[in-house]
């Protein structure tokens, strides 16, 4: 195998009947030297964070509402100040740009930006257009998937770790890696 091929990354997916087996697979993978970022849990039901000993999944969703709120506020301020400077009419002796008079619309603009960016943030953070590479419909039937991304030369280590934890099946992009007799339906 050339050095270039051995550096290429591949994904393996182990399927487990029981949460305990999936947790065992995660600890075996980490014991074999795979980093937390390379391991992903896939399930049809949300398990508590850290239940499988997996690394905390980082996301930046919290940044989107703040960015959206800032953009919405900026647009609302520009709209108002622009309108009031373009047509300066003194009302009741108040300043041309009076904050109490425009605060409701600033709020609306801020909230519009925050909601829109949050929705966009959910789409972005759901990893569109590509999510996990290898998948199996048995996860929707209740099996728990442990996905690991490994360099080509470390694929055998990953497969051993997944199988030793009691995997029902281990899959790569090309299909099942387990012998037909070993892989239960």
Residues that bind another protein (CB under 8 A): 17, 40-49, 54, 57, 59, 61-62, 65, 79-80, 83, 87, 91-92, 94, 98, 100-102, 104-105, 107-108, 111-112, 114-116, 118-119, 121-123, 125-132, 135-137, 139-143, 147
Q: How far is the CB of 8 from another protein (least distance, A)?
A: 22
Q: Which is nearer to another protein, 142 or 156 (CB)?
A: 142
* Inter-residue contact 14 to 167 (CB < 8 Å): yes
**19-31 vs 155-164: helix crossing angle, rounded to 10:** 150
By beta-carbon proximity to another protein, the closer residue of 132 and 183 is: 132
- Least distance (Å) from another protein to the CB of residue 7? 25
Q: Which is nearer to another protein, 1 or 87 (CB)?
A: 87
Please name the residue that has the structure tokens 């619309």.
105
| Residue position matching structure tokens 């960015």 | 67
Task: Give, rounded to a whole angstrom, the gap between the first and last alpha carbons of the chain.
Answer: 33
* Cα–Cα distance list, 90 to 79, 81, 104 (Å): 18, 14, 19
Instruction: Decide: helix, strand or coil at residue 73.
Output: helix
**Nearest distance in Å: CB 49, another protein:** 7
Residue pair 131/137 in contact by the 8 Å Cβ criterion = no
User: What SS3 state is found at 26?
Assistant: helix
Q: Which is nearer to another protein, 75 or 160 (CB)?
A: 75
Alpha-carbon distance 164 to 168, whole Å? 10
Residue with smaller CB distance to another protein, 85 or 156 = 85
* Smallest distance from another protein to CB 179, Å: 24
* Minimum separation from the CB atom of position 2 to another protein (A): 32
């Amino acid at each position: 195998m050339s050095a270039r091929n051995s550096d290429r990354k591949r994904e393996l997916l182990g399927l487990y009947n029981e949460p305990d087996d999936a947790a065992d697979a995660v600890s075996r993978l980490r014991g074999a030297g795979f980093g937390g970022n390379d391991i992903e849990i896939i399930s049809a039901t949300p398990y508590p964070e850290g239940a499988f000993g997996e690394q905390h999944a980082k996301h930046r969703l919290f940044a989107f509402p703040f960015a959206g709120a800032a953009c919405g506020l900026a647009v609302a301020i520009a709209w108002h100040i622009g309108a009031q400077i373009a047509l300066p009419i003194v009302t009741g002796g108040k300043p041309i740009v009076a904050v109490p008079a425009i605060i409701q619309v600033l709020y609306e603009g801020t909230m519009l930006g925050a909601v829109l960016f949050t929705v966009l943030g959910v789409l972005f953070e759901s990893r569109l257009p590509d999510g996990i590479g290898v998948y199996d419909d048995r996860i929707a039937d209740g099996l728990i998937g442990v996905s690991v991304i490994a360099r080509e030369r470390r694929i055998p280590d990953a497969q051993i770790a997944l199988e030793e934890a009691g995997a029902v099946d281990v899959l790569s992009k090309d299909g099942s890696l387990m012998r037909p007799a070993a892989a239960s339906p």
